[in-house]
Structure 1
């Protein structure tokens, strides 16, 4: 048996420990629809204490499980790729949401519910890495882009007034035919289905091409990052480097941050406080926050480099999960390589769509 699973805005991500509704399902529920393929709730597997919650199904008896290749990038290289892709992943996730909105508008559905927002706290981001200098310059943290999904008060009220027929049509436009799915079997033998029809699938194809390959790579990176966060949170070397990093940030005029995750938390709070009045106002507010975010990210990256915080994160992850990183290394490095050039391209498309 296989269960359809969905993705968070930035990949296959849910908050650790707590049960989470994934965004695609949250939208479907808001529409009054039954969950469709590619959008389902998931519980944290008991056997994977460091990984994000996933909807998984054990291999059937007698099933031949794909064997992971033993040849691939070294663990340190893969761990570094997990750092490099974080900001780009956030950017592409936001762009996906904006462009799905544009797609359903073109299909005749100009009104849709607000995107569900994560509820981050300091525990969520406690062991997040600093961005690399390259990803900081390219994408900041990617969080400012969430302003591009903000609705005006008028559009929010309009959603409250639509009828059930409209909601059903919007559901079909977003998620497509629930019988049209792509099934993926991962290296551990578990399977998942993602929707192959509708605006979500169309936007993902325009970004990534083959949906099966997209699912394999994004899943591998998400699972590895979940394990990495657990390893880093307990690593003494990384913890010891936090105080010098914080002092470096203060000396550069950015006081009050005890860890890189605190910056992400502060940015999420700023996004939540923004109210937009029009499409042009939405883009203006995004640009203002994005400039601040990029400056913070570049200083964060510089301090992480000078204090060794970035090296400590990579070393902790590589030492804790060498087998897992070896098994999924090719998928993760390929995913990071895809996202780096893609993020600026789809961000520009999202800005244009959000301002229309």
Structure 2
């Protein structure tokens, strides 16, 4: 159980990582390994993009390494905000979302593909993402459902180079990232957790923000800032976010959630120790290889 990011299970966020500059996540007791920090994951994703670029150019296409989410983008997505400093700077991350959307719309790859004749576009897409006709990988998820991906293409080739075994990586990743769905409902139903959320709600009410739980804020945030000028909307968002994080850390909510998640996650990992071990081991392997590709130093 990672202690740097709180309530990742309840938020159904796959894995947990520490903020940049902080210590690496604690080793998982069942595997003796750890997951990557946000900064390390960024390095891996940059390495993957550079390998995809090299592969695409080898096939005669232009390719630009796409925008990658920053450390700040990867924080603040849990059940409840717990970092007051982050809340003061970003509120609930609305401005970060707008920046990400702007980057997506400005993606040079999208403009490039629009300029390609249809036959070249078809070949571009097949070169990048492979073709189901060449075979697919399929994984049955622990909580139900199945996910699939193509076996070939430059993306698959890049991951093969980073992780050493793309099919094994795909199976390990999809299994590990779906484990939260097995225990998150039990946390939400737990009386200790419900009592802790009640204490948080009392704290928020005293601060002038009467909400029953953090998800209610997220459901109503758009309406709360509708019609306000950008500066006033940001001020309102930040004020609410700071109150949420303050109440999360001054009431039993954070402490209770960490305790419950640790216990529930440990139960699940006993059943899926091999898959989690493979996920963590291959992630760390990919980090070392990505550093060589990108030139990043530890």
Give TM-score, length-normalised by structure 1: 0.42
User: Could you state the TM-score of these two structures normalised by the residue count of structure 2?
Assistant: 0.48
